[in-house]
Amino acid sequence: MLLLAVGYAFATGVYAQQSRGVCGNSTEDQLMYEHRTIANVETANAGGATDRGAVQYVPVYFHLVGDANGAGKVKERLVLDQLCALNEAFSTADIRFYLSVHPTQNTIFNYSINATNVYSNQDGWFTMQTNRHPNALNVYIVDEAVSGNNNPGITQAYYSNPRDWVVSRRDQISGATNNAVLPHEIGHFFSLDHTFFGWESNPFDSSDPTWPIAPSVSPGNVPTERMSGSNCNTAADKICDTPPDYNFGLYASSCSYNGGAKDPGNVDVVPMANNMMGYFNDCSNYVFTNQQKSVMMADLNSSARNYLDNNYTPPSEEINTPTDLLVSPGSGATVPYYDEVLVEWQDLPEATWYLLEFDFVSTYATPYAQSFMVNSNSKLVTTLLPNRTYYWRVRPINEYVTCAAVRQRTLKTPGTSAVRDIEGLTAWQIAPNPVRNGGNANLFVQAEQSFDANIRVFTTTGQEVLNLPKVHFENGDNKIEVPLSKLGNGLYMVMLQTREGQAVRKLSVLK
């Protein structure tokens, strides 16, 4: 699971080795939740957590942390892909994860943490705490995950037991096939120990004085597990279907071990290299064992996890993206204004959000990439540059289905700005927006010289539903009431139109 060779040297005891990244959870970190592990193992061994037979859905809330300028946030599409990979990693367990809207922030992702002391380390834990979702598993995605004594750059991710949240470096959030980093940390969240519990800082190898026979107690003071299974309930991770491992994975170059270590009873040790809670790299299929799954389920059903309780079932298990999802602008079309681009797509009943992305190239990964989480089927985009060809695409999602097919088109922006089309118009907006059905809205118009304009309201399909001709606007601030009481619910386009040009704003009418 430790996929990155990060190239920092670090010392463990007398050893100094090149290291790849690691999980930030030390032996001591895991001892902090040892009481939960023991209780959950007992519940699992008694069969109490295995016979429910139904999938339980766990709410998760991702915090997309930026630096002090708000830069460096992980892209939404990577988080959406990662959620799919996470559910794939848990596909043989009866646990699934879904995106949960924050009850007061009302967002599906948290974008509001822009702080160096969270982004580059997690000293700003109070900021993290005040942003946490009270009823979800909180995952903070940062630039540097800092835990314990590991040197900068070593820790890929960690579970903080005191805070009961997960922190991951953003380069570990990708949805890459078989990336075990986030599933591993969520294993800790659900009280699992490393399979090599006790050997975190001192892997057993030929430099050890008792080599090749392991001592009966590990350097972390945890009983050493034996191949016979005779002490599997009390040694190491206390889970009997995970064989002994003395942290052979940390310095292994592949998903296997044949280094010759023997357990305290002089039996050759054969670890389970592809276990999700081990440290081996480059395995093709990381798994949790059946007992690990039962322990996690026991934890989920324990009182410590009451705050995750919910009655959620997905609105649909699948989203079939129609090939004609995108409505307008037409493929390759040149839009009227570069800074007021209305893009529309079909409203799918299975979808509750849409990820809308723009970029100059179809990777959507350049510094010019822009993305928006939209909870309706249109977006008026004001941040595109003039005279460019943009790729744009839409991914429909719901809380649980986040990897449905995308649909993509290109559009061209002109050099024409919408606002500058009306001489004298500095800025304008409509409020309230959305407006309640039956109410009126006000146009707030700021002008640097007086002008007359028509106020016209259109449906999104272009049907005119209101026309106020020759409304006069004075130099300075103007407030004009627009009667909307006869309009039904929906999305409308409000147009200010003069002889020279026009400007358009979107208006929602709701119940």
By CB under 5 A, name the binding residues for Zn ion.
Answer: 23, 25
- The Cα–Cα gap between 443 and 435 comes to 12
**Nearer Cβ to Zn ion (30/498):** 30
Closest CB 167 distance from Zn ion, rounded Å? 12
CA distance 36 to 31: 10
CA–CA distance, 138 with 163 (Å, rounded to integer): 10
Nearer CB in complex with Zn ion: 198/329: 198
Residue 367 Cβ, how far from Zn ion at the closest point, in Å? 33
**Count of helix runs (H) and strand runs (E) in the chain:** 7, 24
The answer to whether residues 80 and 395 touch, using CB atoms and an 8 Å cutoff, is yes
Distance CA 277, CA 320 (A): 35
User: In the complex, what is the shortest distance from the CB of residue 35 to Zn ion, in angstroms, rounded to a whole number?
Assistant: 18
Sequence-distant (6+) residues with CB within 8 A of 11 are none
> Min. distance of Cβ 194 from Zn ion in angstroms?
5
Of the pair 236, 453, the CB lying nearest Zn ion is at 236
> In whole angstroms, how far apart are CA 95 and each of 205, 299, 484?
36, 11, 48
Nearest CA-CA partner of 296 in 124, 44, 54, 97: 44
Nearer to Zn ion, 160 or 224 (CB): 160
Q: How far is the CB of 311 from Zn ion (least distance, A)?
A: 31
Cα of 392 vs its chain's centroid, Å: 21
CB of 155 to Zn ion, least distance (A): 10
Q: How far is CA 302 from CA 28, 48, 49, 296, in A?
A: 23, 11, 10, 10
Q: Looking at beta carbons only, is 155 or 377 nearer to Zn ion?
A: 155
Q: What is the 3-state secondary structure (H, E, C) of 372-439?
A: EEECCCEEEECCCCCCCEEEEEEEEECCCCCCCCCEEEEEECCCCCCHHHCCCEEEEEEECCCEECCC
Which residue number, 40 or 114, has a Cβ lying nearer to Zn ion? Answer: 40
Burial 241-269 (b: 16+ CB within 10 A, else e): ebbbbbbbbbbbeebbbebebbbbeeeeb
Shortest Å distance, C-beta 25 to Zn ion: 4
Nearer residue to Zn ion within complex by CB, 25 or 294: 25
- First CA to last CA distance, the chain: 50
If the CB atoms of residues 23 and 297 are measured against Zn ion, the closer one turns out to be: 23
| Residue 284, Cβ density class (10 Å: 0-12 exposed, 13-18 middle, ≥19 buried) | exposed
Measured at CB, which residue is nearest to Zn ion? Answer: 23
Please, what is the minimum distance in Å from the beta carbon of residue 126 to Zn ion?
A: 25
CB nearer to Zn ion: pick between 23 and 487: 23
CB of 279 to Zn ion, least distance (A): 8
Cβ atoms within 10 Å of 134's Cβ, excluding its own: 10
As given in the structure block, the two tokens for residue 136 are 């979800």
For the bound state, the minimum distance from the C-beta of residue 151 to Zn ion, rounded and expressed in Å, comes to: 17
Nearer to Zn ion, 23 or 300 (CB): 23
Q: Which of 411, 2, 44, 103 is nearest to 241 (CA)?
A: 44
The least CB distance from residue 129 to Zn ion, in Å, is 22
CA atoms within 13 A of residue 501's CA, in its CB half-sphere:
14
- Nearest Cα residue to 319 out of 402, 408, 407, 409: 402
Q: Angle, nearest 10°, between helix axes 34-45 and 290-300?
A: 110
Report the C-alpha gap between 395 and 356 in whole angstroms: 7
Shortest distance (Å) from residue 29 CB to Zn ion: 8
Name which of 175 and 249 has its Cβ closer to Zn ion. 249
Distance CA 366, CA 369 (A): 5
- Which of 153, 144, 182 minimizes the C-alpha distance to 277? 182
- Tell me whether residue 273 or residue 507 sits nearer to Zn ion (CB atom): 273
